[in-house]
């Protein structure tokens, strides 16, 4: 899908979503930490001693083939899956010991439409604002802002499941950010949407990062992974490499391929891992 990605230089419009977001912080503290995260399903180890730290304002990508363990890792880090061992921390809150406190700082947007399809746009906004403990004037104001920012005016009474895909994505993003989270978890967020919607989406994400929001994203678009500050390549349940996109591409550089893509690096690193393991 070579034409789906719009380059960073094309994203110039100020994000109205970011404009209503308070400045969260300018320090570079670690806001998401994986400490030896392991998840076993019976005799199968889906994630094996995963460790890394994500700094404030960082866009951190999890990349890997299907079944590699990235979704398992992702779910443990946002508190949706309990690890067999190890720790997942958000803002130094252990998600097993203090799940409520940790999740209060999290916004979550899933690849599969994670809102309530049988509820209208307005009802979804009402429900999620209530779930985030927004009340009274504050709740009314944030719902109004989301309707304006994402142009929901003509869709307020439409069931979420009947929305055009681009508006489904807008609704998911609005419901994930209406409580002004410090960390935003994005699971394949632009899968299936058109180029303009993807551009609008990343425009908002970069605007939020400018306000201090930390992003963790899984994506299968190699071009889109270029947006990340760092990428953890997950394969067979392990982080086999973690670097900036440019550093990853440099690994695959050769006389035959002087300008490798992330996909080239991805394939080479997996082949080298398998070779080293004698498979």
CB atoms within 10 A of CB 13: 11
pLDDT of residue 72: 93
Residue 274 lies in a domain: yes
Who contacts 73 (Cβ-Cβ below 8 Å, separation ≥6)?
A: 34, 37, 39, 47, 50, 62, 234
Residue 2 lies in a domain: no
Residue 263 belongs to domain spanning: 245-278
**Which tokens belong to 106?**
């999290």
Specify whether 271 is located in the same domain as 165.
Answer: no
Specify whether 113 is located in the same domain as 249.
Answer: no
pLDDT of residue 113: 58
Helix intervals (H) in the chain: 16-19, 70-77, 99-103, 121-131, 136-149, 165-177, 195-210, 222-225, 245-251, 262-276
**Which tokens belong to 235?**
């394969």
Task: Tell me if 153 sits within 8 A of 145, measured CB to CB.
Answer: no
pLDDT of residue 97: 93
pLDDT of residue 10: 44
Q: What phi, psi does 58 have (nearest 5°)?
A: -90, 140
Specify whether 139 is located in the same domain as 274.
Answer: no
Which of these, 242, 232, 265, 248, lies nearest to 77 by C-alpha position?
Answer: 232
The count of domains in the chain is: 2
pLDDT digits (tens, 9 = 90+) for 135-181: 999 999 999 999 999 999 999 999 999 999 889 999 999 999 999 99
Which of these, 78, 270, 31, 261, lies nearest to 176 by C-alpha position?
Answer: 78
Per-residue pLDDT of the chain (279 residues; tens, 9 = 90+): 334 444 444 444 789 999 999 998 767 889 999 999 999 999 999 999 999 999 999 999 999 988 899 989 999 999 999 999 999 999 999 999 999 999 999 999 986 656 888 899 999 999 999 999 999 999 999 999 999 999 999 999 999 999 998 899 999 999 999 999 999 999 988 888 888 888 899 999 999 999 999 999 998 788 789 989 999 999 999 999 999 999 999 999 999 999 999 999 999 999 999 999 875
Which of these, 273, 247, 216, 239, lies nearest to 35 by C-alpha position?
Answer: 239
| Helices 121-131/165-177 angle, 10° precision | 20
Specify whether 251 is located in the same domain as 134.
Answer: no
Sheet of strand 59-63, all strands in order from the earlier edge strand to the far edge: 106-109, 183-187, 214-218, 59-63, 230-235, 238-243
Specify whether 167 is located in the same domain as 255.
Answer: no
pLDDT of residue 279: 58
Specify whether 166 is located in the same domain as 41.
Answer: yes
Specify whether 26 is located in the same domain as 55.
Answer: yes
CATH number of the domain residue 142 falls in: 3.40.50.300
Specify whether 205 is located in the same domain as 259.
Answer: no
């Amino acid at each position: 899908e070579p034409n789906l990605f719009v380059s960073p230089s094309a994203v110039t419009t100020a994000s109205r979503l970011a404009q209503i977001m308070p400045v969260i912080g300018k320090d570079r503290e670690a806001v998401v930490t994986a400490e030896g995260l392991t998840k076993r399903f019976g005799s199968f180890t889906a994630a094996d001693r995963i460790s890394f730290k994500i700094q404030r304002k960082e866009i951190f990508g999890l990349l890997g083939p299907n079944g590699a363990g990235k979704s398992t890792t992702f779910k443990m880090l946002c508190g949706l899956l309990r690890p067999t061992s190890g720790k997942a921390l958000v803002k130094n809150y252990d998600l097993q010991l203090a799940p409520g406190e940790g999740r209060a700082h999290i916004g979550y947007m899933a690849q599969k439409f994670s809102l309530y399809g049988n509820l209208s746009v307005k009802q979804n906004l009402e429900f999620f604002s209530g779930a985030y403990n927004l009340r009274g004037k504050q709740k009314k104001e944030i719902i109004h802002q989301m309707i304006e920012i994402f142009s929901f005016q003509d869709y307020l009474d439409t069931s979420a499941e009947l929305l055009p895909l681009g508006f489904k994505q807008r609704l998911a993003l609005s419901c994930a950010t209406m409580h002004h989270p410090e960390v935003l978890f994005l699971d394949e967020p632009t899968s299936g949407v058109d180029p303009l919607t993807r551009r609008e989406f990343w425009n908002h994400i970069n605007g939020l990062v400018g306000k201090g929001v930390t992003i963790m994203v899984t994506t299968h678009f190699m071009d889109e992974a270029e947006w990340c500050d760092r990428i953890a390549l997950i394969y067979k349940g392990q982080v086999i490499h973690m670097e900036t996109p440019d550093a990853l591409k440099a690994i695959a550089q050769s006389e035959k391929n002087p300008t490798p893509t992330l996909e080239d690096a991805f394939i080479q690193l997996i082949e080298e891992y398998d070779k080293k393991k004698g498979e």
